[in-house]
Amino acid sequence: MTVTSSPTSDLINLPSWLRAPIGKASEISRVQKIVKQRKIHTICEEGRCPNRGECYSQGTATFLLMGDVCTRNCGFCQVEKGKAPMILDENEPQKVAEAVNLLGLKYVVLTSVARDDLADGGAFWFVRVMEAIRKMNPDTLIEVLTPDFGTGKNALQQQWESVKTIVKANPACYNHNLETVARLQNPVRKGGKYHRSLRVLEIVKEINPNIPTKSGLMLGLGETLAEIIATLEDLRKIKCDRITLGQYLRPSLAHLPVQKYWTPDEFEELGKIASSLGFSHVRSAPLVRSSYHAHES
C-alpha cells in the first residue's frame, strides 16, 4: 500500500463534511450509564461512532458481545487486541436483555469481537443473547453482525455449522462486513479473507433465503472505483441484499493512514451504482457505518 498522507495531515486536513457533531449528549450519557453499570459493551462506544447519539435517540444500539478484547489485529479497528480474550460472562445475555429493556430499544444489532479461541467462534453465544433479549423484549428486532467463523481445524465445516446455528435463531438481518476490496484484505483485515467472508453471506442464503443479508465497505484505504464496483458485484452474485458504504477515519496514529477522503458526491454516485446492481437497501455517505439506520430496512 502506498502512503500518500502523513499521520499529521490525516488529523489536520479532515474535510469539512466529516466535522460533524457527535450527537445528543443526553442520549449518549444515558446509554453510557446503563451500559457501564452492567459492565457490558457497545461497539458504538468502543468504536466512538459519530452517529451514536442519533441512533440512540431512534431506539437503536449495537452491543459488542464476548468482551472487548479481539483475537485479531485488524489495521483499521480500535477495539483492543490480545491473545487472551476475556472469559465469557455467564450473565451477559441477561445484562444485555435488561439494557435493551431499560433503553426501550426497538431494533438491536449484536456484534462481537473475533473469538478464534472458541470452537465455534462464539456462534452459540449470539443465540444465547438473542434468546434472552426476546424473552424480556418480545417485540424487539435483532440484527446480527458476526465474525467469519472460518479458522481452526475443519474450517469450512465449522464455518457452515456456526453460521447455521445463528441462522436457525432467525435474526431480522444477517450482516457480515467485507470491510474493503479483495486486494487490500491482508493489510486491512489481518486474519480475514475475502472469499471466506463472502462465504458467510452465501451460507445464510443457502440455509434460509428469506433472511436478508448485509455487508459494508470502508472507503479511503487505497481502493479504486473499479475495485469497489467489482466488490459490489461479488456481493450481488451471492444475493446480498443490503450494503453500507462509509469513509474510513483513522482512529489513532497507530492505525492505517487514510489514503483518500471520498466526497459526498462520490458517495452519492456509488449509492446509485449499488442500487442499479440490485441492492434493496443502500446507505452511502461519509459518516455511514455498518448499523446506521439499520432499523429502517
Residue 202: per-residue pLDDT: 98
pLDDT given at position 81: 63
Contact 126, 65 (CB under 8 A): yes
How much is the pLDDT for 188?
85
User: Residue 4: its pLDDT value, please?
Assistant: 40
Cα separation, 213 vs 173, in Å, equals: 6
Tell me, what's the pLDDT at 5?
Answer: 41
Task: Look at residues 2, 91, 103 and name the one whose alpha carbon lies nearest to residue 44.
Answer: 103
Q: How many CB atoms lie within 10 A of CB 172?
A: 17
Q: How far apart are the first and last CA of the chain?
A: 35
**Tell me, what DSSP letter sits at residue 179?**
B
Question: pLDDT by residue for the chain (297 residues), tens digit each?
Answer: 333 444 444 444 788 888 765 555 566 677 777 777 777 777 666 556 666 666 666 666 789 898 877 666 665 566 566 666 678 999 999 999 999 998 888 899 999 887 888 889 999 999 999 999 999 999 999 999 999 997 777 889 999 999 999 999 999 999 999 999 999 998 888 778 899 999 999 999 999 999 999 999 999 999 999 999 999 999 999 999 999 999 988 776 767 889 999 999 999 999 999 999 999 999 999 989 876 555 555
Which residue intervals of the chain are DSSP H helices? 7-12, 25-37, 43-46, 52-57, 92-103, 123-136, 155-167, 185-188, 194-207, 225-237, 264-277
Predicted pLDDT of residue 8: 40
Per-residue pLDDT, 120: 92
| Separation between Cα atoms, residue 3 and residue 250, nearest integer Å | 13
Contacts of 53 (CB under 8 A, 6+ apart): 22, 23, 24, 25, 27, 28
**In terms of C-beta density within 10 A (0-12 exposed, 13-18 middle, 19 or more buried), how is residue 133 classed?**
buried
